[in-house]
Chain A
Amino acid sequence: MSEQGGVQFAIRGTGDRNNPVRRKLLKPFTGPELFVHFRMQYDAGGIDTPADGDGEFFVLWLDDVDGGDRAAHQGGVPNVGVHVAEQENRLMVRYHSSQQHFSRIALEGDREYQMIVRLGKSNAGPDQPFDQLALWADPLVHERENPAVKATSHDAIRRVQWLGFATGRKTEPTDTIRISDVRVAASWREILGLSAAVAAKAAPSAASPAPPQHVEKTVDFTTHVLPILETACFSCHGGADADSGVRLDVLDELLNQVTPRDAAASRLMELVRSTDLETRMPPPGEDRVALTRQQIETLGTWIDEGIDWDDGRLPTPVPQTDHWAFQPIVRPELPQVTNRGWIRTPVDAFIARRHELAGIGPAPLATPETLARRLSLNLTGLPGPRPRTAAAGIATAEVPPPPTTAAGDSTDDALVATRDPDRAEATHAVADVLVDELLSTVAYGERWGRHWLDLARWAESNGHQHNRERPHAWRYRDYVVQSFHSDKPYDRFLLEQIAGDELPYADEHLVATGFLAAARYSGNELDHEIQRNDILVDVVNTTAQTVLGLTLECAQCHTHKFDPFSLRDYYRLQAFFTPGQPGNVVLQSDPATAHALIESRWQIFDDVHRRLVAGRRASGVPEPVLVIPKSVFRAMKGPERTLFQRTEAAIAQLPQSWSWTSLTSADAPLAIAPHEMRWPLPRQGTGASAPKTYLRLRGDVKSVGPEVRPGWPAVFGKTPAGLARPRTTLATWMTSADNPLTARVWVNRIWQWHFGTGLVETSGDFGTQGTPPSHPQLLDWLACELIESGWSTKHIQRLIVGSNTFRQDSRFSPQGHAVDPDNRLLWRWRPRRLEAEAIRDSTLVVAGQLDPQAGGGSVPVSQAGRSRRRSIYLQQKRDNLPESLTVFDSPPAVASCSRRNVSTVAPQPLYLLNSPFMQTMAQSMAERVREAASDPDAQVQVAFEMALGRRAEASELQRATQYLADHTLTSFCHALMNLNEFLYVN
């Protein structure tokens, strides 16, 4: 067959039928199918539309004979190309000029089309007609069954010997059509420039982790080993008071004396083999003799075979603990207090009771302005979309204004005023309305969703040195925001995040598993066992810390030094997650297309990969021959590369989510789009068997202990066996009413985000090393409320922000300070610095610059400086977070962050004073102020209300107007944005 690739023709019309380029095949073709490939580009300048001219005509024809210069072909000759349909030039195919079949593709000028034509015979044979004709433009590999247009005709040529391009009467001398890369082939893959098809499921062998070696068991624990241990060891090294603290009747303890699968390295073997009577075990004595060689050999084999154990006969004792956090939650009675008038919600009763016991009293009600700003910042992270109106609403609409004195500052008077019961009631009523309003805003979801993202150590890149981006991770962020906005019950929220992929299919459920998938992932880790274990460790630590408030990470290497968790507990918890891994899950709008696209992408990739491996092997590279994806991309040949890139582009268009799914999930396999790394995780859906979970001694991946099955820590009771949906079981246990931790931990976190400090100060550690709760009964009461309200977060928040406790003023009291300097008893509101996001967002609001667009893809780091969107929408790329956030202690998104650090370092003022962002914001704010007021006094007041939510007091006004006499309004506004009062929730 002849090939004409590489040559380019520029064809012009003549205004008549013409046949400018035609070629003869080396021999006539009569096979079952023939493919023709060519690239076609119409110069835009020459294109007439049927509306203003005649339109266009241009075809490729395939014939048995050369039709001559005038393109005189008979009927039955296949034509593909461009002709006029209704009002458009469209791609079409035809056998006869009277029967044209048009595609939907309208001809665009200056665009190169990759045209592929198929001529086929429904009955093979040299004398059968080519009765099938089809045309594709820019096809992807999997689109063989979906041509742009096709036609059939019994009246058709039976063999092909000539092909050529023809113009017609509509093709004018000013029209230029460029043709190149004309090729023929006998198969679909060949015409696309690919090698022959491969089995779609085949994955490179390097992709699956090597399981730890397994040996056939020759020693049975109960019949061979146990008798030895019972007679020779247990009398001293058994039971709780074992000699030297060495216990051999409990697997977890025994493991300290042996190295599974390596008897030679085991301390136990060293001791029983010792010839030194001082150290030999068992030691010489009346009724004890050294083990026989046979017995020693049995023990050795037992260890080498991985240590078989009978948990039924020798169970690990359930740890006993009387630590408060592990005891059941019991609803406490509301305490009786003297100061009953102060109680707005039951929260106040618990707080007041402690005040009374300590002999102190609460601070007065905060001023309406302070309260409005506090509520708004607390619930939405913004000083209020209309800070003036909100404050003014409280200050003037409902409450009689406080009497002001001509010269003095009004704070004291305002405070006195709030002690007046009527005025206080009115303040509360207005604040309650504001609370309802704020809780219903999207801004609330954004603020509280961000708190959750801290716990989820959520980010949009893999971390570690390659730090590849995760362009679809934002969907999880939106899921979290939406969940808070809609007050999704907390138990449901957890279930979806921990087991969303096990629930009945819904996009939302898969997106929710972004919680697990947010783990870091090292793409440069060649050892798949280490790679997987690192991810699992991250997932277990984060889940335990976030949901249960436990610092389980200690138990990764050794039995927890303080809390009742063993090494075994740790890996049992890991086993729930072992079969899963993160990846780009395609959301299922069109699963068939997604699967087909991804499959063809892998086909091309695997072809090239195989080729490279074979080549390197042939050149003598020793096994294993490793080829990284980058080399594969580089080695793709022209057409392969084009097609590969086009397929990748099409995959990128599919809606996806960075989610966690099981390698072995059954029902309808999900489409997982590639996430290419140097050493990627095993490809999902390739029939890989589920990895097992093993104890890892001292946390060392390479020190593999016995296999373990999923289970929660033994201290919390028995885990059912044989779980069909293991993570669903885990989440259900976590949110069952008798789980002592989940509800306590969550209400404590809510409390912390409202007050700055939790009732349990160490909100991420409810273990024995954490701090005890300041108000244990209040904590339990709130936990009961949470569960009984159907796990409603907003219900708990209403109880908190509606309380007098929350609404206190921040004023200092020597008496309170003397009794309780840290304010653990909450005798006042303690001002605290805003988080980085709230500082940036508040600045944008005050400058009138905030772009309120919610949700969707993140603003790339490179554009973060110019963006005016809320900070939660700035891309969270690990190790490259926006400066505006890191300067104010935003977490690095590496581990779960229960409580943010608050630093006060000089780079912060430098940023606030000198960064271009702050300067621009100061200018914008000044413009806003100037629009609202012209004389200096009024400008000061407007600026104060914008930035601080209150009016300037007399002395402030005087100082400020003085300043304005010598300085610009921008300089003044810039100063306000640097105030502690601006940066703090007061």
Chain B
Amino acid sequence: MHRRTLLQYAGLGAGSLALQSLLRAEDERRPQTHFRPTAERVIFLFMSGGPSQVDTFDPKPDLQRYDGDDVPESIAQTVPKIKRAGLKNLMASPWRFQPHGESGIEVSELFPETARHVDQLCIVRSMQHRNPVHGPGECVALTGTGAGNRPSIGAWSLYGLGSANQNLPAFITMNIHSDGMQYPQAAGWGTAFLPSRFQGTRVDPRVGVRHVTMPAEQAREDRRDQLELIEWLNRRHLQSVGEHSELEARIRSYETAFRMQSAAPELFDLSGETQAIRDRYGLDASPTELAGRTCLLARRMVQRGVRFVQVRIGGWDAHGNIKGNHTRMARISDQPIAALLGDLKQQGLLDSTLVVWGGEFGRTPTMEGRGKGRDHSPAGYTVWMAGGGVQGGRLIGQTDPLGYVATERPVSPHDFHATILHALGFDANRLTYLHHGREEVPTVFGGSAVKEVFA
């Protein structure tokens, strides 16, 4: 479909509804920001499976020294007593670390591309929680509870932000490389008790929004007439019933759907992107093709007003062979993620877009069993944030000399969520939603923003 036709088409019927007042009304119900936001939108790069901190962003020279030894008692006794916390056979990282950028922050040679942007990153090396299992751990990382029965951080964000584009879902989640054992947890983009309009719409980056294409045999004119007939009959029905905001909203949803029919294919049509961009994201090379496409789509989405984009890249679960697994995962994701950071900056979007990277937990500094892999470990792991008011080139928190347990400035997933909301202008403890008579907040289990991230 040509761009011009699309635009014409998108315009059809838009004026026929008293939409603007409805939108405004919805806008007024939104919670007010508590302070000046530093970001208007979020891209959450969720590395499912658990990337290892000591092989990526948390260098531990001592691991070389004690390679093969057991964890010394002084550290062993600080390791939370949860299953899987192996204390035998420390294993040196197979990768070297080097300082990068002006900040001189050390990054493993696994991520040469991301390392170029280290002066944009604020790296939190002291993430910590207690759930060492993928599914519940993912729920902790994205909703704050292992049961996943509370709203996702994306839903809370959207509740605060509202939608900036009526033609596309305001919260989109794309799950790629999730063919391993770690099933994507729907709670991660769910709303729990928040109204479902804050829900993430799950989109396959290779396919786009479901059912957005009109049936081939249906003429466009026919569809327009059909929608007019539907609206005419719906308005009669509404009249007979009188005031009914839900019926009105439903009438409006047809208008949005209609516009999405053109906006969504346009969003997913990458033919307008230059070859330079394609190369930068690695769209034409096989390991990077999918993550590259997904990251590029993330940029196109935020460019078009999507407020929260969640990119879930699965496969980081390196039990048997840390070297093989992380090499493969880095090959898939390093270039596209670096391209996204660079592209956002070039497009002038990085300052207002908060980008976060991290998994549901990290990995043990010890060897798992007698293999060459590492086991799950939530006791101390790394995430980073960039853009959206974040002070780049900064390190926050610290783990012990072996990288096992967060020892300085531990940050819980709840703190992390509060930090994201802080960037969006909200004090998580005061962002309330009335549910069953209770004022629910995102930080029901505690948590406060890590303000050092911003200043």
Q: Is the CB of A770 within 8 A of B241?
A: no
Q: Is the C-beta of A154 less than 8 angstroms from some C-beta in chain B?
A: no
Q: Is the C-beta of B222 less than 8 angstroms from some C-beta in chain A?
A: yes
* Option from A622, A769, A889, A979 in Cβ contact (under 8 Å) with B437: A769
From residue A870, how far is it (CB to closest CB) to chain B in Å? 23
Known: A903-B195, A971-B226. A883 touches B234 (CB 8 A): no
- Closest chain A residue to B258 by CB distance? A909
Known: A411-B240, A909-B253, A911-B211. A892 touches B190 (CB 8 A): yes
Among B6-14, B107-115, B129-137, B292-300, which stretch is in contact with chain A? B129-137
Q: Is the CB of B229 within 8 A of A975?
A: yes
Q: List 30 interface pairs A-B (beta carbons < 8 Å), by A numbering.
A: A465-B181, A466-B183, A522-B133, A522-B136, A525-B133, A765-B437, A769-B437, A771-B436, A810-B240, A811-B240, A812-B242, A813-B242, A879-B185, A905-B196, A905-B253, A906-B260, A908-B253, A909-B254, A910-B209, A910-B210, A910-B211, A911-B210, A913-B257, A916-B215, A956-B233, A959-B232, A967-B226, A980-B234, A981-B234, A986-B241
Residues of B within 8 A of A527 (CB): 82-83
* Option from A466, A894, A906, A963 in Cβ contact (under 8 Å) with B225: A963
Q: Is the CB of A979 within 8 A of B234?
A: yes
Which of B199, B232, B250 neighbours the largest number of chain A CB atoms within 10 Å of its CB? B250
Residues of A within 8 A of B82 (CB): 527, 702
Q: Is the C-beta of B51 less than 8 angstroms from some C-beta in chain A?
A: no
Residues of A within 8 A of B254 (CB): 909, 978
- Chain B stretch 199-231: residues in CB contact (< 8 A) with chain A: 199, 201, 209-215, 218, 222-223, 225-226, 229-230
Q: Is the C-beta of A825 less than 8 angstroms from some C-beta in chain B?
A: no
Residues of A within 8 A of B195 (CB): 901, 903
Q: Is the C-beta of B249 less than 8 angstroms from some C-beta in chain A?
A: yes
Q: Is the C-beta of B144 less than 8 angstroms from some C-beta in chain A?
A: no
Give A855 to B233 CA distance when docked, in angstroms. Answer: 38
Q: Is the CB of B183 within 8 A of A621?
A: no
Q: Which 10 A-B pairs have the closest CB atoms?
A: A812-B242, A903-B196, A909-B257, A914-B211, A906-B256, A527-B83, A465-B135, A906-B257, A465-B183, A904-B249
- Chain A stretch 753-776: residues in CB contact (< 8 A) with chain B: 762, 764-765, 769-771
Q: Is the C-beta of B273 less than 8 angstroms from some C-beta in chain A?
A: no
Q: Is the C-beta of A105 less than 8 angstroms from some C-beta in chain B?
A: no
How many chain B residues sit at the interface, stated as a range, is 35 or more
7 extra interface residue pairs, beta carbon distance < 8 Å, beyond A524-B135, A909-B258: A411-B240, A526-B84, A762-B437, A769-B437, A892-B190, A915-B210, A963-B229
Give A537 to B370 CA distance when docked, in angstroms. Answer: 35
Q: Is the CB of A904 within 8 A of B234?
A: no
Q: Is the C-beta of B403 less than 8 angstroms from some C-beta in chain A?
A: no
1/0 per residue, CB under 8 A from B, across A883-910: the answer is 1000001001011000001111111111
Which of B88, B237, B252, B369 neighbours the largest number of chain A CB atoms within 10 Å of its CB? B237
Q: Is the CB of B209 within 8 A of A907?
A: yes
Residues of A within 8 A of B4 (CB): none
Q: Is the CB of B249 within 8 A of A466?
A: no
Residues of B within 8 A of A914 (CB): 211-215, 261
- Closest chain A residue to B48 by CB distance? A465
Q: Is the CB of B136 within 8 A of A811?
A: no
From residue A350, how far is it (CB to closest CB) to chain B in Å? 24
Give A975 to B228 CA distance when docked, in angstroms. Answer: 10
Known: A979-B233, A981-B233. A907 touches B436 (CB 8 A): no
Q: Is the CB of A622 within 8 A of B88?
A: yes
Q: Is the C-beta of A467 less than 8 angstroms from some C-beta in chain B?
A: yes
* Option from A551, A879, A907 in Cβ contact (under 8 Å) with B210: A907
Q: Is the CB of A817 within 8 A of B242?
A: yes
Residues of B within 8 A of A902 (CB): 246
Q: Is the CB of B211 within 8 A of A915?
A: yes
Residues of A within 8 A of B242 (CB): 811-813, 817
Give A956 to B133 CA distance when docked, in angstroms. Answer: 59
Known: A831-B244, A919-B215, A978-B230. A906 touches B169 (CB 8 A): yes
Give A902 to B195 CA distance when docked, in angstroms. Answer: 8
Q: Is the C-beta of B33 less than 8 angstroms from some C-beta in chain A?
A: no
Q: Is the C-beta of B321 less than 8 angstroms from some C-beta in chain A?
A: no
Q: Is the CB of B250 within 8 A of A904?
A: yes
Give A480 to B58 CA distance when docked, in angstroms. Answer: 54
Which residues on B are within 8 Å of A, measured CB to CB? Answer: 81-84, 88, 130, 133-136, 147-149, 169, 181-187, 190, 195-197, 199, 201, 209-215, 218, 222-223, 225-226, 229-230, 232-234, 236-238, 240-244, 246-247, 249-254, 256-258, 260-261, 369-370, 436-438
- Chain A stretch 934-986: residues in CB contact (< 8 A) with chain B: 956, 959-960, 963, 966-968, 971-972, 974-975, 978-981, 983-984, 986
Known: A525-B133, A909-B253. A817 touches B197 (CB 8 A): no
Give A764 to B185 CA distance when docked, in angstroms. Answer: 25
From residue B175, how far is it (CB to closest CB) to chain A in Å? 11
Which of A765, A914, A963 neighbours the largest number of chain B CB atoms within 10 Å of its CB? A914
Residues of B within 8 A of A622 (CB): 88, 369-370
Residues of A within 8 A of B201 (CB): 905, 907
- Closest chain A residue to B167 by CB distance? A906
Which residues on A are within 8 Å of B, measured CB to CB? Answer: 411, 464-467, 522, 524-527, 530, 537, 551, 620-622, 700, 702, 762, 764-765, 769-771, 810-813, 817, 821, 830-831, 833, 879, 883, 889, 892, 894-895, 901-911, 913-916, 919, 956, 959-960, 963, 966-968, 971-972, 974-975, 978-981, 983-984, 986
Give A956 to B236 CA distance when docked, in angstroms. Answer: 9
Q: Is the CB of B250 within 8 A of A771?
A: no
- Closest chain B residue to A966 by CB distance? B225
Q: Is the CB of A904 within 8 A of B237?
A: no
Give A889 to B209 CA distance when docked, in angstroms. Answer: 18
Q: Is the CB of B134 within 8 A of A904?
A: no
Q: Is the CB of B370 within 8 A of A620?
A: yes
Give A907 to B230 CA distance when docked, in angstroms. Answer: 17
Give A526 to B131 CA distance when docked, in angstroms. Answer: 12
Give A525 to B130 CA distance when docked, in angstroms. Answer: 14
- Closest chain A residue to B89 by CB distance? A622
- Closest chain B residue to A821 by CB distance? B243
Residues of B within 8 A of A984 (CB): 247
Q: Is the CB of B212 within 8 A of A910?
A: yes
Residues of B within 8 A of A907 (CB): 169, 201, 209-211, 257
Residues of B within 8 A of A833 (CB): 246, 250
Residues of A within 8 A of B130 (CB): 700
From residue A967, how far is it (CB to closest CB) to chain B in Å? 6
Residues of A within 8 A of B214 (CB): 913-914
* Option from B81, B183, B244, B247 in Cβ contact (under 8 Å) with A467: B183
Residues of A within 8 A of B232 (CB): 959
From residue B262, how far is it (CB to closest CB) to chain A in Å? 12
Q: Is the CB of A980 within 8 A of B181?
A: no
Residues of A within 8 A of B83 (CB): 526-527, 530
Give A980 to B253 CA distance when docked, in angstroms. Answer: 12
From residue B451, how far is it (CB to closest CB) to chain A in Å? 27
From residue A439, how far is it (CB to closest CB) to chain B in Å? 28
Which of A700, A916, A981 neighbours the largest number of chain B CB atoms within 10 Å of its CB? A981
Give A700 to B226 CA distance when docked, in angstroms. Answer: 57
Give A508 to B17 CA distance when docked, in angstroms. Answer: 55
Residues of B within 8 A of A904 (CB): 197, 246, 249-250, 252-253
Q: Is the CB of A883 within 8 A of B250?
A: no
Residues of B within 8 A of A831 (CB): 241, 244, 247
Which of A771, A903, A907, A983 neighbours the largest number of chain B CB atoms within 10 Å of its CB? A907
Q: Is the CB of A812 within 8 A of B183?
A: no
Give A833 to B149 CA distance when docked, in angstroms. Answer: 25
Give A914 to B223 CA distance when docked, in angstroms. Answer: 10
From residue B26, how far is it (CB to closest CB) to chain A in Å? 11
Q: Is the CB of B437 within 8 A of A522?
A: no
- Closest chain A residue to B232 by CB distance? A959
Residues of A within 8 A of B260 (CB): 906, 910
Q: Is the CB of B237 within 8 A of A979?
A: yes
From residue B144, how far is it (CB to closest CB) to chain A in Å? 13
From residue B38, how far is it (CB to closest CB) to chain A in Å? 29
